[in-house]
Amino acid sequence: MTQASFTGTEQYLASPELTAAVDVAVALQKPLLIKGEPGTGKTVLAEAVAEALGQELLTWHVKSTTKAQDGLYHYDTIQRLNDARFGEGDVKDIAHYIKLGALGRAFSADKRVVLLIDEIDKADMEFPNDLLHELDRMSFHIPETGETVTAKERPVVIITSNNEKELPDAFLRRCVFHYIAFPDEELMGRIVKVHQPDVEDRLLQQAMLRFYKLREIPEIRKRPSTSELIDWIAALRLGGLSAKDIEEAIPFLGLLLKRENDIEALTQPRRRLGRY
């Protein structure tokens, strides 16, 4: 078996762990589950993999109302009824009214494609379980037409999750897993500079120092992420504050911590009630 190994693209830099995860997922034809805090480049990875493998990318954006069925196919009954009423279209052929979803299109594609199932944790709890069978077998049945859609070329499936919900164990066991870690200070500096090219170095250093310290406080439940840091630095600059002003205090704390409990955790130690 000779296949191209994924080592990232010019735009996307992959770690050896990520490279191995992509390679093994492709070779063993298992879905690749990518987790990580928002803004760590999960979705972009799918684009990079598609580019590196020279395959088309199909994306299925999952929403809270998405059902597993939506990814397979949709039977447009109303259209068919309407056509029957007004004598339009080929009503006898039910296949005209079967519209394939992203998964269905990935299966029926002539060439192997990359299928991105984006933000799977947004959907209902049972959603990943409902897809188990289809992802295992890479086929599904359409009772309306009696047709079975089977993948001609098993697609490379990449699934992202923001950790909004825990995913079921049975689902996790079938996936190759990779977690994209939070950027370190060096990379974070580069990211901030993309958004704030002329930020003063001392302010940036000091702001990042406070930022990473804040992320280390265990009582803080919703840790500030990249976008919060960028907003905060923007606010500091608009307010005309310098590196010295944030040595002791954290002005505009609300931009970094969004939860009341987190702000409390920072400003006052936990009170104890009673002896029981």
Partner 1 sequence: MFLGFLYALRERGLNVGVNEWLTLVEALAKGHARSQLGAFYALSRAVIVHREGDFDRFDAAFASYFKGVEGFFALDDELMQWLQNPVLPPLLSDEDRAALEALDLDELKRMFEERLDEQNERHDGGNRWIGTGGTSPFGHGGTHPTGVRVGGGGGGRSAIQVAEDRRFKNLRTDRILDTRQISVALRRLRKLTKRGVASELDIDETVDESARQGGEIELVFNPPRKNRIKLMLLVDVGGSMDPHADLSERLFSAAHRASHFQAFEAFTFHNCPYETLYTDISRGVGEATEDVLKRLDEKWNLVFVGDAWMSPYELTHVGGAIYYGQQNRTTGLQWLQKLKRKCPKSVWLNPEPERIWAAESVTMVRRVFDMFPLTVDGLTEAVDTLRGARAHD
The footprint of partner 1 (CB under 8 A) covers 1-10, 13-21, 23-25, 27-28, 30, 33, 35, 40-41, 52, 77-78, 81-82, 84-85, 125, 165-170, 172-173, 175-184, 186-187, 216, 270-276
Least distance to partner 1 from the beta carbon of 20, Å? 3
Q: Which is nearer to partner 1, 124 or 147 (by Cβ)?
A: 124
Nearer to partner 1 by Cβ, of 197 and 270: the residue is 270
Contacts of 194 (CB under 8 A, 6+ apart): none
User: What span, in angstroms and rounded, lies between the C-alpha atoms of 29 and 26?
Assistant: 5
The least CB distance from residue 207 to partner 1, in Å, is 19
- The 8-class DSSP code of residue 13 comes to B
Could you tell me whether strands 156-161 and 176-180 are parallel, antiparallel, or unpaired per DSSP bridges?
unpaired
Q: How far is the CB of 235 from partner 1 (least distance, A)?
A: 26
Taking the least distance from each CB to partner 1, the nearer of 27 and 95 is: 27
- Please classify residue 73 by burial: count the beta carbons closer than 10 Å to its beta carbon, then call 0-12 exposed, 13-18 middle and 19+ buried: buried
Phi/psi region, residue 54 (left: phi>0; alpha: psi -120 to 50; beta: rest), is left
Complex with partner 1: residue 37 or 231, whichever CB lies closer:
37
Least separation in angstroms between CB 254 and partner 1: 20
For partner 1, give the closer residue by CB, 20 or 234: 20
Whether the CB-CB separation of 222 and 266 falls below 8 Å is answered with no
